[in-house]
Amino acid sequence: MSIDINALLDKKIEFPKTLDYFLYGGFLLGLLTFLYNLFSGHQDVAWTAFHLNFVFWAGVSHGGVLFACAMRITSSSWGRSLMRICESFAAFMPVVFILLLVLLFIDGEQTLLYLSEEYKNYDYITSRKHDIWLNFNSVFIRSVLLIGTLHILTYYYLYHSIKQDCEGTGRFKGFFSFLSSASEEGKEVDHDDKLYTYSICIAFAYSLSMTFIAFDFIMSLDVHFYSTLFGVYYFMASVLAALGLVVIISSMMAIKFKLESVITEFQFYDAAKLMFGLSVFWLYTFFSQFLPIWYANMPEETGYIATRVFDEPYKSLAWVTLTCVFVIPFVTLIPRTTKIVKPILVSIATVSFLGLFVEKIVLIYPSIMHDHFHFGLESILISFGFMCLFLLCVTKFLAYFPIFGLKDKKLIKKLSSGGGHH
């Protein structure tokens, strides 16, 4: 490996202080808005927005890590320069775990309606579901066990990913010094092998944990609706949202920190093709649920769909979702130009990302706010606070740890053979 490539990959980045102030300010604004609504008699607005953002950002943060793991499992070389940006989404995972506990212990019956006695006494079916599956102890054990397992696997994965790059360099001081300390003699570790193994484990843990997040915190909010495909629908949508955000962040970083020699147009070209495919798959999972509900015509299932396709404002929001997540990406990502012109691709990724956020509104709000809909300035500010907190975690991670795999053999080979092209 040449000195030039070493210097290229070990580029230090420092985000502007103004960005830090903006993100801290946005998070504080969202937090104060949440607390104001909580203590001014608008608990339903505050907790519903909290629930919405927990579900959305939990999916995005875990989806980014899964995307990095998928590249390791498939021995993919095209996106190695984006891998650390994907891994940076794990910086939000401790926050996800805290939010989960807040949702279970403090929010409770405000949005998790199945925990209330009223739900238990609704009818025989819901009573049995409450007794066996949707009681507090069952939801708590299931959620903490699955999410906790996924987080532990992810932390071990990150340990080997960063340790591989920084071992013996003494790069870090303080708490993270163990990541750059030299290994003991006679204890050489094959980090690539460990990363491959943990990636497979994370893929299984992700599919299982995100499925039950979808079941417990979205699907079960409705009294009777159930779909065995709903978990796949949720976690694939989360991967698509994470991919869109990776495209947005990597594009901005490539311009700001002059990383075009590593994050080239070929990475964006392949990411755009994958975004196109995932958008089609998202529609497939949606239609695969819609079709049997439509032809079976069972009232307990059709009611869930009818509310979202016939009642305003959910009808309009559902069309917005379909347009943003499928129609626009499908039409615009067919030409080659839109895949490599970064401003256009970032615009498409932003539209898709916002569409997936609106999708969560359509899925969650009718189940919690039965008699009214309210997503006003307060909910927008709370959502903005969540976004700022997520980006704050990601930028701190990327500023502290190497933004590229310094000893990633596939990335080094790619750069050595011509600057990252196919």
pLDDT value at residue 387: 97
CA 372, 313, 347, 73 dihedral sign is positive
pLDDT value at residue 305: 84
CA distance 62 to 91: 10
Token code pair at residue 83? 């891998």
Q: What is the pTM of this model?
A: 0.92
Instruction: Specify whether the CB–CB gap between 89 and 64 falls below 8 A.
Output: yes
CA distance 147 to 390: 18
CA distance 71 to 68: 5
394-407 per-residue burial string, b: 16 or more CB within 10 A, e: under 16: bbebbeebbbbbbe
CA distance 376 to 300: 30
Instruction: Specify whether the CB–CB gap between 82 and 102 falls below 8 A.
Output: no
Residue matched to tokens 């990095």: 68
Instruction: Specify whether the CB–CB gap between 147 and 99 falls below 8 A.
Output: no
Domains of the chain, by residue range, sit at: 32-416
Closest to 391 in 3D by CA, of 56, 12, 23: 23
pLDDT value at residue 225: 81
Token code pair at residue 19? 């960005």
422 residues of the chain, pLDDT tens digit each: 444 677 667 778 889 999 999 999 999 999 999 999 999 988 989 999 999 999 999 999 999 999 999 999 998 888 888 999 999 999 999 999 999 999 999 987 788 888 876 666 666 566 677 677 888 888 999 999 999 999 999 999 999 999 988 887 778 887 888 887 877 665 777 888 999 999 999 999 999 999 999 999 999 888 778 888 899 999 999 999 999 999 999 999 999 888 888 888 889 999 999 999 999 999 999 888 888 887 877 777 788 888 888 888 999 999 999 999 999 999 999 988 888 888 999 999 999 999 999 999 999 999 888 778 888 899 999 999 999 999 999 999 999 998 988 888 888 887 777 654 44
Amino acid at 348: I
CA distance 55 to 179: 31
pLDDT value at residue 2: 45
**CB atoms near residue 4 (< 10 Å):** 11
CA distance 359 to 353: 10
